[in-house]
C-alpha cells in the first residue's frame, strides 16, 4: 500500500525542516512550488497525501490542489497556510476538496496526527475502490458466463466486439476504456431471454413473426434493464440500451435521442457490430466500410471515419487458415484456446461456433457433452 507524502512549498528552508522533523515516521518527498510538484506527480505513482502551502507565487495552493484532484483523484489533500481567514478556508474546501486545513506554523504534535489520518483516509478510499472493482468484474464475469452457456454464438460475437472496442479505444487514446469494453462484452446479454429457435431463425435471416421480431428488437432494452440494477454500471447500461440507435434518431429505442446525445460507446458499437456482420458474410473490410459510408444517417460520421482510418490496426484478422490450427481432445482443451472450427455434437448440432475463445463455463459445457459421449472429437483450435 502506498504511504508516500508530498510536501509543496515555495520556501526550501521550510521543506528541509519538514524533512528533518518527519522523515523518521513518514516517507516524504518535497517540491518547490506547484509547477514542480505537478511535474513530479506526472512521473511518479500517485501519492497517498499531498500537503500544499496556500501562498505560493505563480500558482497558489487552491489552484494547485484543484489540479492534484484531476491528476490523482484518490490522493488525500491537506492545506497548510499562515493566512487562516474564512474565505481561504471556504475556497480550499469547496474548490480543492481538502481533507484537513492546518495553520502555520504547525507543530509536529499537530502535523503528525493529521498525516496519519490522511494516510488512513487514503487506505480507506483505495480499499473501497478495489472492492468495487472486484465486485463489478465479478458481476460482469457471471453475466458473461451465463451468456456463454445459454448462447455461445452471442458470446463469441461479444468477445470479438470487446477485442475491437479495446483496440479501437486504445488507438484513439481514450482515457477510460473499461466501461466501453464491458458494454461490448455484455451487449448481447439480453439474448438470454430469447428462445433459441428464435435466435437461430434471426441469424439465418429467416422471416420472423411479429412477436418474434419485437422480442429481438428489445434485446438491447432487456440487457440495459438487467445491468441498471448493478450500482456503477449505469453508463454501461445506457450504451447497451442505445447500441441499435441510428445517428439520425431512428431505430430502437423509439425516443427523441439523436446525434451526439447518443452515448459515444453506443455510437461506436453501432459501427463495430455492423462490421462484424459484414465479416460473418465474408465481406472484405475495406468494401464493408465503403458500403457503410453510403448509409447516411445510420452512423456517427466521426466514429465511422475514425474506424476507417484505423481498421487495419484495430480490427482482428479473419480466423487463421487450417495450416495454423491443430487438433486437440477434450482432455487437452484449455481456457483461452480459440476454436478454428465449430465444436459440434456427434449428430452435427452446433455447440460453440468457430472463432470463440474458450471460457471456463464453455469448457465445462463441452466436457459435459463429452461425458455423455455426444461431443465430436478431435476439436480444431488455433495454434498459440
In a 13 Å sphere around the CA of 228, the CA atoms on its Cβ side amount to: 12
Quick one: pLDDT at residue 87? 59
Put simply, whether the predicted model's pTM sits higher than 0.85 gets the answer no
The answer to whether residue 95 sits within a structural domain is: yes
Looking at residue 250, the DSSP 8-state letter turns out to be -
Asked whether residue 54 carries a pLDDT value surpassing 80, the answer given is yes
Joined grid coordinates for residue 201? 431463425
Whether 42 is in a domain gets the answer yes
Strands 343-344 and 350-352: antiparallel
User: Do residue 85 and residue 161 come from a single domain?
Assistant: no
Residue 138 forms part of a structural domain: no
Confidence of residue 370 (pLDDT cuts 50, 70, 90): very high
339 and 307, same domain (yes or no): no
- Is it the case that residue 197 has pLDDT exceeding 80? yes
User: Average pLDDT for residues 315-328, to the nearest whole number?
Assistant: 60
Same domain membership, residue 206 and residue 72: no
C-alpha separations of 81 from 48, 55, 78, 332 in Å:
20, 7, 10, 66
pLDDT: which is higher, 172 or 299: 299
C-alpha distances out from residue 105 to 14, 18, 32, 93, 121, Å? 10, 11, 18, 20, 24
Residue 104 in any domain: the answer is yes
> Residue 81: its pLDDT value, please?
80
Given CA atoms 199, 200, 203, 208 in this order, what sign does their dihedral have?
negative
338 and 307 part of one domain: no
The Cα 217–Cα 252 span in angstroms is 7
Q: What percent of the chain has pLDDT over 70?
A: 92
Q: Between residues 234 and 90, which one has the greater pLDDT?
A: 234
If asked whether residues 177 and 225 sit together in one domain, one would say yes
Do 269 and 197 sit in the same domain of this protein?
A: yes
Write the CATH number for 367: 3.90.105.10
Instruction: Look at residue 94 in the predicted model and tell me its pLDDT.
Output: 55
**Is it the case that residue 47 has pLDDT exceeding 90?**
yes
Look at residue 178 and tell me if it is in a domain: yes
Find the mean pLDDT for residues 102-130: 87
CATH number at residue 278: 1.10.3210.10
pLDDT at residue 301 in the model: 93
Count of residues making up the chain: 384
* Domain housing 33: 4-127
Per the domain annotation, does 185 fall within a domain?
yes
Asked if 302 and 327 sit in the same domain, the reply is: no
> Taking 60 as the threshold, does the pLDDT of residue 316 lie above it?
no
pLDDT band per the 50, 70, 90 thresholds, residue 49: very high
Dist CA 270 CA 354 (whole Å): 23
- Asked, for residue 133, whether it belongs to a domain, the answer is no
Residues 161 and 257 in one domain: yes
**Domain co-membership, 162 together with 99:** no
- Residue 65 in any domain: the answer is yes
- Pairing, β 4-9 against β 27-32: parallel
CATH number at residue 10: 3.40.50.2300
- 185 with 306, same domain? yes
Judgement on whether residues 93 and 206 belong to the same structural domain of the protein:
no
Quick one: what percent of the chain has pLDDT higher than 90?
A: 40
Is the distance from CB of 90 to CB of 145 less than 8 angstroms?
Answer: no
Comparing CA positions, the residue from 224, 218, 223, 227 lying closest to residue 254 is 218
Number of domains present in the structure of the chain: 3
- In tens, the pLDDT along 164-188 reads 888 888 888 787 788 898 899 999 9
pLDDT at 85 over 60: no
The answer on 294 and 266 residing in a single domain is yes
Give the tens place of pLDDT for each residue, 330-340: 999 999 898 98
Amino acid at each position: 500500500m502506498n504511504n508516500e507524502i508530498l510536501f509543496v512549498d515555495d520556501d526550501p528552508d521550510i521543506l528541509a525542516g519538514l524533512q528533518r522533523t518527519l522523515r523518521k515516521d513518514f516517507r516524504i518527498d518535497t517540491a518547490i512550488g506547484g509547477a514542480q510538484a505537478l511535474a513530479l506527480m506526472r512521473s511518479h505513482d500517485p501519492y497517498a497525501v499531498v500537503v500544499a502551502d496556500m501562498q505560493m507565487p505563480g500558482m497558489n495552493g487552491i489552484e494547485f490542489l484543484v489540479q492534484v484532484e484531476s491528476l490523482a483523484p484518490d490522493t488525500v489533500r491537506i492545506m497548510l497556510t499562515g493566512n487562516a481567514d474564512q474565505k481561504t478556508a471556504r475556497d480550499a474546501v469547496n474548490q480543492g476538496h481538502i481533507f484537513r486545513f492546518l495553520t502555520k506554523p504547525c507543530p509536529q504534535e499537530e502535523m503528525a496526527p493529521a498525516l496519519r489520518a490522511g494516510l488512513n483516509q487514503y487506505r480507506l478510499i483505495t480499499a473501497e475502490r478495489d472492492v468495487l472493482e472486484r465486485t463489478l468484474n465479478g458481476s460482469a464475469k457471471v453475466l458473461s458466463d451465463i451468456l456463454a452457456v445459454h448462447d455461445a454464438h452471442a458470446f463469441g460475437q461479444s468477445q470479438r466486439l470487446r477485442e475491437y472496442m479495446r483496440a479501437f479505444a486504445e488507438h484513439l487514446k481514450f482515457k477510460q476504456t473499461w466501461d466501453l469494453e464491458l458494454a461490448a462484452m455484455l451487449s448481447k446479454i439480453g439474448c438470454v431471454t430469447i428462445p433459441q429457435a428464435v435466435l437461430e431463425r434471426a441469424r439465418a435471416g429467416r422471416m420472423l413473426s411479429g412477436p418474434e421480431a419485437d422480442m429481438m428488437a428489445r434485446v438491447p432494452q432487456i440487457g440495459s434493464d438487467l445491468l441498471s440494477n448493478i450500482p456503477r454500471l449505469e453508463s454501461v447500461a445506457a450504451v447497451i440500451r442505445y447500441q441499435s440507435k441510428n445517428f439520425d434518431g431512428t431505430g430502437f429505442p423509439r425516443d427523441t435521442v439523436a446525434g451526439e446525445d447518443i452515448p459515444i460507446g453506443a455510437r461506436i458499437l453501432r459501427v463495430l457490430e455492423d462490421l462484424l456482420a459484414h465479416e460473418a458474410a465474408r465481406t472484405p473490410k475495406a468494401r464493408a466500410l465503403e458500403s457503410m459510408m453510403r448509409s447516411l444517417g445510420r452512423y456517427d460520421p466521426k466514429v465511422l471515419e475514425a474506424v476507417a482510418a484505423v481498421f487495419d490496426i484495430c480490427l482482428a484478422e479473419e480466423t487463421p487458415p487450417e495450416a495454423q490450427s491443430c487438433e486437440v481432445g477434450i482432455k487437452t482443451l484449455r481456457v483461452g484456446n480459440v476454436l478454428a472450427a465449430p465444436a459440434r455434437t456427434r449428430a452435427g448440432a452446433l455447440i460453440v461456433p468457430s472463432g470463440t475463445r474458450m471460457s471456463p463455463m464453455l469448457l465445462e459445457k463441452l466436457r459435459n457433452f463429452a461425458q455423455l459421449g455426444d461431443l465430436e472429437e478431435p476439436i480444431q483450435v488455433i495454434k498459440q
